[in-house]
């Protein structure tokens, strides 16, 4: 069964460093998403991406964040200069039609020291 994959599973970085989180969505899906979950809190939407551009972003998704689909399979989230409060689990998701069920990856745990 096709699934969303994410790498790395755990990333540790120093404050101020850039990180890139990678995702491979399900191959015939057209909509891609990033969410984050700070430990003990609810899952928060960051950004959605369709047709090679951002279709929606939340107030969390400021200028420090960017997304890219560099080729036909990968979908990346870049944080330019990490802050302590960026420590969270980051989930990638995808779906075919934009409003039905989303398929989530296993997440990348980002720890900023």
Contacts with other proteins, residue ranges (CB under 8 A): 31, 33, 35, 41-45, 48, 55-56, 58, 89, 91, 93, 95, 98-107
Closer of 76 and 98 to other proteins (Cβ): 98
Nearest to 49 by CA among 77, 14, 22: 77
Beta bridge partner(s), residue 11: 110
Q: Which residue lies nearer to other proteins by CB, 25 or 107?
A: 107
Output the smallest distance, CB 79 to other proteins, in A.
Answer: 19
Phi-psi region of 55 (alpha: psi -120 to 50; beta: other; left: phi over 0): alpha
Give min distance, CB of 106 to other proteins, in A: 4
DSSP 84: G
């Amino acid at each position: 069964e096709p699934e969303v994959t994410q790498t790395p599973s755990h990333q540790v970085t120093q404050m101020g460093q850039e990180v890139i989180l990678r995702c491979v969505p399900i191959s015939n899906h057209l909509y891609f998403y990033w969410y984050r979950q700070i430990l003990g809190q609810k899952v928060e939407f960051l950004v959605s991406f369709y047709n090679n551009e951002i279709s929606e972003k939340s107030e969390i998704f400021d200028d420090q964040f960017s997304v890219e689909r560099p080729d036909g399979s990968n979908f990346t989230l870049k944080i330019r200069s990490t802050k302590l409060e960026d420590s969270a689990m980051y989930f990638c998701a995808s779906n075919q039609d934009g409003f039905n069920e989303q398929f989530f990856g296993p997440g990348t745990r980002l720890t900023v020291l």
